[in-house]
Amino acid sequence: MIPTDREQRGPTLLVFGKTGQVALELQARADVIALGRDQADLTDPAACAAAIRAHAPAAVINAAAYTAVDNAETDEETATLVNGTAPGAMARACADLGIPFVHISTDYVFDGSGDAPWRPGDPTGPLGAYGRSKLQGEDAVRGAGGVHAILRTSWVVSAHGSNFVKTMLRLGAERDHLSIVADQVGGPTTAGDIAGASLEIAQQLQADPGKTGTYHFSGTPDVSWADFAREIFAQAGITCEVTDIPGSDFPTPAKRPSNSRMDCSATTDVFSIFRPDWRTSLSGILHNLKGFTT
């Protein structure tokens, strides 16, 4: 089961990231040392590795990343440094210390073709700079040779920062009609659920290093962005009509995968972590946002 309550999980757990969606949820669920950019800048991979050696934690979770998908198209060098080189340096430091490393990755490492859920061992084929940078990070983590779990996820939302849920709440309150992409399908995943899964995986890797590998974790059921928006409005009590449009009607600098469905069966089989129902998790986000601006 995914833990939901704040709890001490033994010796120190080190988290890269402090203000991001998953990092904030990790701090809400466990006693961790969370490193912000001022303490561990991911554009300085050597400093990240040095932070791990200095803290000598029981395990490390990398919840920090360059996530500006469109900006990465014109700043691939920085995206690759943060998403590719830095995780490799972290993983090597963890390997040297003999501690587990949990690295959060993305569905963007795939090309988004077809309609079958992506399995961890399926061929990768990123469509853009962001996906390429994240794939380089995965390869570097595996290449370090230490105990690790690469946890690919998709469509991350929470009550924090900027994400689809908060954008829909704002636009839905302002307008009576929205056109939303309907030919991109995936599993919305709350940052809280990702944090819970990451903590559980880190704990299990300490007990059983043989669980090292690449895994998928996303919310269920799979849904289009348009239908996701409809559920957000329904739960929030917002009257806003949604019209389905193809992704081609909403061009972006970086191409989005059409198929972000993920096969999470290995995560269930190995860690007994099941896909969370994002509709239930969404209600928790909306509850947390009550009384706050979106």
pLDDT of 290? 81
CA distances from 110 to 105, 148, 218, 243, 279 (A): 11, 21, 15, 27, 25
Q: Is the pLDDT of residue 291 over 60?
A: no
pLDDT (tens digit per residue) in 4-17: 444 444 458 999 99
Residue that has been written with the tokens 């972006």 in this structure: 252
pLDDT band at 154 (very low <50, low <70, confident <90, very high): very high
Task: Tell me the C-alpha distance between 40 and 86, whole Å.
Answer: 10
Task: Tell me the C-alpha distance between 181 and 247, whole Å.
Answer: 5
Q: Annotated active-site positions, please?
A: 130
The two structure tokens encoding residue 135: 């794939």
Terminal alpha carbon distance of the chain: 31
pLDDT band at 294 (very low <50, low <70, confident <90, very high): very low
What is the secondary structure of 81-120 as a DSSP string? IIIIIHHHHHHHHHHHHT--EEEEEEGGGS---SSSPBPT
Task: Tell me the C-alpha distance between 177 and 196, whole Å.
Answer: 35
CA-angle at 198, arms to 204 and 159, nearest 5°: 155
CA distances from 35 to 17, 25, 60, 96, 189 (A): 6, 14, 11, 20, 23
Q: Which residue has the higher pLDDT, 13 or 250?
A: 13
pLDDT of 12? 87
Task: Tell me the C-alpha distance between 31 and 164, whole Å.
Answer: 28
Task: Tell me the C-alpha distance between 27 and 34, whole Å.
Answer: 7
Angle of helix 278-289 versus helix 225-236 axis, rounded to 10: 50
- Strands 13-16, 32-35: pairing is parallel
Closest of 192, 131, 207, 190 to residue 156, by C-alpha: 190
pLDDT (tens digit per residue) in 223-244: 999 999 999 999 999 999 999 9
- Strands 241-245, 177-181: pairing is parallel
Mean pLDDT rounded to a whole number for the chain: 94
Predicted TM-score of the model (pTM): 0.93
Look up the CATH number of domain 13-162+187-221+256-276: 3.40.50.720
What is the secondary structure of 160-218 as a DSSP string? SSS-HHHHHHHHHHH-SEEEEE-S-EE--EEHHHHHHHHHHHHHHHHH-GGG-EEEE--
Q: Is the pLDDT of residue 77 over 90?
A: yes
